[in-house]
Structure 1
Amino acid sequence: MILVLGSLHWDVVVRAPRLPALDETLPGQGVDYRFGGKGGNQARAAARAGARVAFAGAVGRDDPGARMRATLAAEGVDTSRLRQVDAPSGMSVAIETETGDYGAVVVTGANALAMPSDPTGVTTALIQNEVPEAANLALARALPADARLILNAAPARPVPPDLLARLDLLIVNRVEAGQMGAAAFGNWVTVVTRGAEGLDLHRDGTVHRMAAPRVDVVSTHGAGDVFCGTLAAGLDLGCALETALEQAQAEAARHVSTAR
């Protein structure tokens, strides 16, 4: 079973011809309200890829929190570890351009109160940096010795040595890899995603480039989360790393080329 410890955000996505400059107001072309947050998106992707998934995190006692819990449950994700707390649910406001690029502002809200749960029966844990470092560390320390730990280090922040020591797989994009520098590489496997250019697989002192499928991009929003969740599912279901990476790239390509 995969346990995702992560964030949930109710996303407000505004479509515009381009990202505004500082102090500029642009007319928008539409607005959508979407289930989001790195943790939630990754849990949903893993479940859609066929894995058994449970989610640990926190939402507020509000309508967005209820909607996000229901969305996860409808995807077959076990929400018994999703806590309800006295804080507003997390939210993000994103601007999506005609070319598929985006920028966003994220409000942490209830995600700041996310806590790990009993990891009994967990074979893979998937964590990100939208919940407190202490929560990620606590889960890493509590995991069974034979459980796989995957960190998607987004947004980038320093990773504690205790967490690195337990890590099996690190997933970062090229910007995050640059921000982490040498700390992104060690005794674990590191995957550096490069968008349309594919990815670099760093393992045992070697680097292997894997090309990405060529598609017409509609929007890149959430593609990294689809990649992470699908990759975790493939590994948890017993696929070889290269096979799981190919599956994750294919699903991310499908995601960015599909209108939502």
Structure 2
Amino acid sequence: MSSRPTPTRLLSVGSILADVRLDVPCLPQRGGDVLGSEATISAGGGFNILTAAARNGLRAAFAGQHGKGPYGERIRAELAAEGIEALMPVSADGDSGFCIVLVEPDGERTFVTSPGVEARPGREPLSGLRLGAADALFASGYDLCYPQLGPAIADWVGGLPASVTVMIDPGPLVADIPPGIMAAVLARADIVTLNRREAGLLTGADDKTEAAKRAHDRLSPDTLVILRDGPAGCFLLGGDIGQSGLQVPAPAVRMVDATGAGDAHTGVFLASLAAGYPAAEAARRANAAAAIAVTRKGPATAPGTEELNAFLATQDHDKTTTR
């Protein structure tokens, strides 16, 4: 990773769709029903990562499809409000999809997704996108699962210049990604980020360190693995960290809503690399951003640089005064 240019822009092909969020007392049993809160609708999915990066000083752009209906209109409005450019034209083939997000009292969330135009390649191919030599590219396992979009992303990513930093997040559907597509994107990945559950599904290992090592065995030696582990922080292996690995702790907070926490982590990690921080410090900042995000309801709850720095200063002060 050290020989690659410091990223100056984040380009995401991670699909953006509308999140329809409800607080529920519990998940209903099969055939049952529960009363939830009034639904709120906002942009979600890949929007959260772009927002986290943009709020922390990294220029961001969306390279996926967005529809012509009300969900697409909301997505474009929220992108514009965050200063994020949409590179593809409005799709004439339908609306953007939506995701039902059920949030339980402990903050855990469960998803049901209804894909829209973001699940398909557009009429303008990915190969037509102009990437800068110092761009970073993010791709999600959600998109790699889609029968039409997954192969298009895999083919395109494999031909990107070596100077482009490629970050892959296999996501909750990691077990559903076709093996050939997974192998193709992992072969080009410079950073792979995934949570503990996803790492277990990918590698068959329950132990965090072993899962990270097995994941790294499928990658090039210079690739960095980030294994996110909720309140425990994250474990880094490979890249500038080396093969011994490094556990980076997270601040202790009371979780209200876990939606978008991993996205906040990813966006802030990339923005921190772009700001010149080494991987270990970028992970510390990403852990803190995710900790702030889970204390708030909604998807795009990552803090900006000023708020993040103030929070980290408080954490450092607390450590100093308790020694």
| TM-score, normalising length: structure 1 | 0.93
Q: Displacement of 1:65 after TM fit?
A: 0.2
C-alpha separation in 2, matches of 1:70 and 1:15: 25
The answer to whether 1:26 aligns with 2:34 is yes
1:172-191 correspondence runs (5 A)? 172-181=194-203, 184-185=215-216, 186=219, 187=221, 188-191=223-226
- Residue 255 of structure 2 contacts residue 294 of structure 2 at CA under 8 Å; is this kept in 1? yes
Q: Displacement of 1:258 after TM fit?
A: 2.2
Partner of 2:291: 253
The answer to whether 1:224 aligns with 2:262 is yes
The answer to whether 1:71 aligns with 2:78 is yes
1:126-141 correspondence runs (5 A)? 126-131=138-143, 132-141=149-158
C-alpha separation in 1, matches of 2:83 and 2:159: 25
The answer to whether 1:194 aligns with 2:229 is yes
Partner of 1:112: 119
Counterpart secondary structure, 1:53:
strand
The answer to whether 1:10 aligns with 2:18 is yes
Q: Displacement of 1:209 after TM fit?
A: 1.4
In terms of fraction of residues, the more strand-rich structure is: 1
Q: Displacement of 1:76 after TM fit?
A: 0.9
C-alpha separation in 2, matches of 1:174 and 1:85: 39
C-alpha separation in 2, matches of 1:198 and 1:208: 11
Cα RMSD, aligned residues only? 1.8
Q: 1:151 to 1:119 in 2, by over 3 A?
A: farther
Structure 2 gaps, min length 5 = 1-8, 144-148, 204-210, 299-323
C-alpha separation in 1, matches of 2:21 and 2:109: 9
> Structure 2: which amino acid aligns with 1:97?
E
Counterpart secondary structure, 2:287:
helix
1:136-175 correspondence runs (5 A)? 136-154=153-171, 155-156=173-174, 157=177, 158=179, 159-175=181-197
Q: Which of 113, 116, 136 is the matching residue for 1:124?
A: 136
C-alpha separation in 1, matches of 2:287 and 2:257: 15
Q: 1:124 to 1:79 in 2, by over 3 A?
A: same
Which stretch of structure 1 is more off in the superposition, 47-56 or 129-138? 129-138
C-alpha separation in 2, matches of 1:106 and 1:48: 27
> Structure 2: which amino acid aligns with 1:232?
L
- Residue 19 of structure 1 contacts residue 102 of structure 1 at CA under 8 Å; is this kept in 2? no
C-alpha separation in 2, matches of 1:259 and 1:89: 23
The runs of at least 4 consecutive aligned structure 1 residues that moved more than 3 Å come to: none
| TM-score, normalising length: structure 2 | 0.75
Identity fraction in percent: 30
Q: Displacement of 1:169 after TM fit?
A: 0.6
- Residue 142 of structure 2 contacts residue 170 of structure 2 at CA under 8 Å; is this kept in 1? no
Structure 1 gaps, min length 5 = none
> Structure 1: which amino acid aligns with 2:36?
G
C-alpha separation in 2, matches of 1:81 and 1:149: 20
Which stretch of structure 1 is more off in the superposition, 156-165 or 201-210? 156-165
> Structure 1: which amino acid aligns with 2:140?
Q
The answer to whether 1:91 aligns with 2:98 is yes
C-alpha separation in 2, matches of 1:73 and 1:206: 42
- Residue 137 of structure 2 contacts residue 166 of structure 2 at CA under 8 Å; is this kept in 1? yes
Q: Displacement of 1:81 after TM fit?
A: 2.9
Q: Displacement of 1:217 after TM fit?
A: 0.9
Counterpart secondary structure, 2:98:
strand
C-alpha separation in 2, matches of 1:75 and 1:82: 18
Q: Which of 58, 64, 69 is the matching residue for 1:57?
A: 64
Partner of 2:315: none
C-alpha separation in 2, matches of 1:52 and 1:82: 19
* Post-superposition CA distance 1:37-67 (Å, at most 9, x none): 1x11111111111101111001221011011
> Structure 2: which amino acid aligns with 1:215?
V
